[in-house]
């Protein structure tokens, strides 16, 4: 059936300005890290994307190696874009990244100009796009000069193949350096995509911490894995289900489901119940809480394996406010749990 977007799609979703730019993102964005490869039925993918846009999700986030296999998420998204979303291109923010393993040999990984720009061309071809809205350096490269990596992002923007430049999993110090170089080149740093959740609070540490660094740079942030790879849901309240990510070793090590972490998850779940939210909804709302000047997240990036799961996550926007008492109670359980898979070694 021909898709026609819901006329009321902008009535409920709040949109937040990205740093000091002119761009706004939905409070909750949809990530295609999981569930959009060739292992997921195409019709299920289509239903999730359509429902997301109908509910005001204007931002779809991808990367070159999302799958399986590598590239499949972009290829499948390209088919959905052609079938359903091409008439709405100017209403969408589509992002992609390069920085992790993509193809064999010395030119298919990390942060060289060779890799980043070749990868961007491949991503555009897979998705059938003339440009992406945001192109990210997916991770810092310890061996490539920062000037080269940022120069590649600048070239991507100047070529018209990307509108904005972003980085992911950079430390506060690296973020400030990246922002300095990009500013000198004339392409401001738009956004940083860090992992962040109630059990993964590295972004709050240090002086400056990541959010203070981003405030200095005038950039925004979009938090990925706000549900701690599924730990902050009802999936693990009674142990490890056989069909869960942890049991199948899919981006969540079963060793992270410790008794201590389960106690924290159960404690957080009790607070969520008192708020009339699911644990997942509270976890997303907490990510989006007001933290004070220079410390607020622009958007929470969620995944979805079904329309029902998507709707549950998006319902978080109906209660984004926390009392001081709730935040104090959450802090008792929301502590660093050493689950950051993307921490630089």
Token output for 278: 């699911």
Angle at the Cα of 285 (from 56 to 10), degrees rounded to 5?
A: 15
Per-residue confidence (pLDDT) for residue 296, from 0 to 100? 81
Per-residue confidence (pLDDT) for residue 32, from 0 to 100? 98
Q: pLDDT exceeding 70 applies to what percent of the chain?
A: 94
Angle at the Cα of 307 (from 86 to 41), degrees rounded to 5?
A: 70
Per-residue confidence (pLDDT) for residue 290, from 0 to 100? 82
> What is the spatial distance between Cα 167 and Cα 170, in angstroms, rounded to a whole number?
7
Mean pLDDT of the chain: 94
> What is the spatial distance between Cα 342 and Cα 345, in angstroms, rounded to a whole number?
9
Per residue in 60-87, pLDDT tens? 999 999 999 999 999 999 999 999 999 9
Per-residue confidence (pLDDT) for residue 338, from 0 to 100? 85
Task: Please list the ranges in the chain whose pLDDT falls under 50.
Answer: 247
């Amino acid at each position: 059936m021909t898709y026609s977007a819901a006329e009321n799609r902008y009535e409920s979703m709040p949109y937040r300005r990205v740093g000091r730019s002119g761009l706004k993102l939905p409070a909750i964005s949809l990530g295609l890290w999981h569930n959009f490869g060739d292992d997921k039925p195409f019709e299920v993918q289509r239903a999730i994307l359509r429902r997301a846009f109908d509910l005001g999700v204007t931002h779809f986030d991808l990367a070159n190696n999302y799958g399986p296999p590598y590239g499949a998420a972009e290829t499948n998204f390209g088919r959905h874009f052609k079938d359903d979303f091409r008439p709405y291109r100017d209403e969408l923010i589509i992002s992609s990244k390069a920085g992790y393993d993509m193809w064999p040999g010395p030119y298919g990984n990390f942060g060289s100009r060779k890799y980043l720009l070749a990868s961007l061309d491949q991503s555009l071809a897979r998705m059938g796009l003339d440009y992406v809205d945001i192109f990210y350096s997916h991770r810092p490269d310890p061996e490539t000069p920062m000037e080269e990596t940022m120069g590649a992002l600048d070239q991507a923007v100047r070529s018209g193949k990307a509108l904005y430049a972003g980085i992911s999993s950079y430390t506060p110090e690296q973020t400030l350096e990246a922002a300095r170089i990009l500013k000198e080149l004339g392409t401001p740093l738009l956004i940083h995509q860090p992992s962040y959740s109630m059990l993964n609070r590295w972004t709050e540490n240090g002086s400056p911490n990541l959010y203070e660094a981003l405030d200095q740079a005038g950039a925004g942030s979009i938090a990925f894995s706000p549900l701690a790879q599924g730990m902050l849901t009802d999936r693990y309240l009674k142990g490890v289900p056989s069909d869960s990510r942890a049991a199948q070793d899919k981006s969540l090590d079963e060793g992270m489901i410790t008794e201590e972490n389960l106690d924290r998850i159960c404690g957080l779940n009790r607070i969520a119940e008192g708020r009339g939210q699911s644990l997942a909804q509270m976890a997303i709302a907490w990510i989006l809480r007001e933290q004070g000047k220079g410390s607020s997240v622009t958007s929470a990036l969620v995944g979805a394996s079904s329309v029902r799961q998507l709707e549950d996550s998006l319902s978080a926007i109906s209660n984004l406010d926390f009392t001081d008492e709730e935040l104090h109670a959450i802090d008792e359980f929301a502590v660093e749990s050493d689950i950051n898979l993307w921490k630089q070694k």
